Amino acid sequence: MNLFMTTGTYDFMKKMREKHPNETMVLMQGENTTLLLHETEGKTIFQTPRRYEVVDGTGTFKEKGFFVFNNIPVTDEGRPIFEHRFKNRAGAIENEPGYVAFRVLRPLDSDTYVVLTEWESPAFFEKWKESQAFSKAHAKPAENAGEKRPNIFSGASYITTYKAKPEDE
């Protein structure tokens, strides 16, 4: 499965989505931009997208909630370790109230992975961040005595958030 992202004006992104009703597309509004996601087994209709391969995921995007993008730069050497951690995760997020969907996205054109979650509202995301499940999911792996873990990150991670924009606005 692939996921593609592109940005533009809300009206243009909305028209693009409406032209392709049989495609899985999610329209969302950020602080300064509108983002359109296209999730597909095939090629995208976007001309110059950010391109990702879905490494792991659960749930189905509903385009009516709150989207959190955890952008994580990973070294080339660190990619297998990073992906292994997600493929062997506990899966606790799926049981959290307000959870909608989750994707781990491998970048095809950069070093920045995206861990994308959709929540029913920002309040549910905040409750998740305060939960024991979150603490457990984000705990550093235990190190064996004297063993030094490699630094798999090529930069600081950062969060971007978006809201699904109601059609009646």
In this predicted structure, what is the pLDDT of residue 145? 45
For residue range 29-63, list pLDDT tens digits in order. Answer: 998 899 999 999 999 999 999 999 999 999 999 88
Which residue numbers in the chain have pLDDT < 50? 145, 168-169
Torsions phi, psi for 45 (to 5 deg): -90, -10
In this predicted structure, what is the pLDDT of residue 167? 53
Tokens 């533009």 found at: 8
In this predicted structure, what is the pLDDT of residue 64? 86
Write the CB contacts of 125 (distance below 8 Å, at least 6 apart in sequence).
66, 68, 98, 117, 119
Cα distances (Å, whole numbers) of residue 8 to 20, 37, 40, 78, 82 = 17, 12, 20, 32, 31
In this predicted structure, what is the pLDDT of residue 166? 56
Domain ranges in the chain are 2-40+50-140+154-164
In this predicted structure, what is the pLDDT of residue 168? 41
